[in-house]
Chains A and B, each alone.
Chain A
Amino acid sequence: MSQDIQETIKKQIEDNKILLFMQGNKEVPQCGFSAQVVQMLNSYDVPYETVDVLLDPEIRQGIKDFSNWPTIPQLYVGGEFIGGCDICTEMFQNGQLEPIVKSAAD
């Protein structure tokens, strides 16, 4: 795996308190699972950034290696990997996601 890409991803995660690696962007998600996580984050009305993995195959593979997680989307909050769509949905529904996201946004 490319070391530079891993460094790039690490920096992206460090520089953005709430960062979603996704297919497409907030306005036009290119995958239903990415769209679901965008909707959850939008519902909290907090600022967050996204990385469109479709624009860069190296990032697309690199983030999978970085997180040891084989699918996109992937949500990072405060430098911590939160999970993919399933885990975000479960945490959204049981109320665990909101305090994590909102405290990171403050």
Chain B
Amino acid sequence: MDPDKVKELIENGMSSEHVKVEGDGSHFEAVIVSNEFEGKSLIQRHQVVYKALGDAMKDDIHALSMKTYTPEQWQSMSN
């Protein structure tokens, strides 16, 4: 699966301000900034993304490593 396709699935499956995906076709790395992460633990944040990816997570994606940030966290990091 193309990293752009993974990005598209995430963008279509949840609300996000920024999504960046890199990968080799089965192993991917993603940076996701979303207000849906507000007040959520890391586990819950990852589950939001896994849900957005749905069956692709079972079939096409062997591994997805992710960094999840709220817009506020993202802003304070870029400053």
- Write the residues of chain A forming the contact surface with B, with a CB cutoff of 8 angstroms: 33, 68-71, 81-87, 90-91
Q: How far is the CB of A54 from chain B (nearest CB, A)?
A: 14
Chain B positions within 8 Å of A85 at CB level:
65
Complex interface: chain A residues within 8 A of B58 (CB): 70
Given contacts A68-B47, A69-B50, contact A90 B65 (CB under 8 A): no
The chain B residue with its CB closest to the CB of A32 is B63
How many inter-chain residue pairs (CB < 8 Å) link A and B?
Answer: 29
From known contacts A86-B46, A87-B42, infer whether A70 and B57 are also in contact, taking CB-CB under 8 Å.
yes
Q: Are A33 and B63 in touch, CB under 8 angstroms?
A: yes
- Is B64 interfacial (CB 8 A cutoff)? yes
Selected from A33, A69, A86, A90, the residue in CB contact (under 8 A) with B47 is A69
Q: Number of B residues contacting the other chain (C-beta, 8 Å)?
A: 12
Are the CB atoms of B63 and A83 closer together than 8 Å? no
Chain B residues close to A by CB (< 8 Å): 42-43, 46-47, 50, 57-58, 63-67
In contact, A83 and B42 (Cβ under 8 angstroms) = yes
For A68, give the chain B residue with the smallest CB separation.
B47
Q: What are 8 A-B contacts defined by CB distance under 8 Å?
A: A70-B50, A71-B57, A85-B65, A86-B42, A86-B46, A86-B65, A86-B66, A91-B42
The smallest C-beta distance from B60 to any residue of chain A, in angstroms, reads 12
Q: Is the CB of A84 within 8 A of B46?
A: yes
Residues of B within 8 A of A81 (CB): 43
CB pair B47–A83 under 8 Å, yes or no, is no
State the CA gap A83–B68 with chains docked (Å): 14
* CA gap between A85 and B50 in the complex, in Å: 15
Task: Please name all residues of chain A whose beta carbon is closer than 8 Å to the beta carbon of B67 when the two chains form the complex.
Answer: 86
Tell me the complex Cα distance, A87–B45, Å: 10
Chain A residue nearest to B66 in the complex (CB): A86
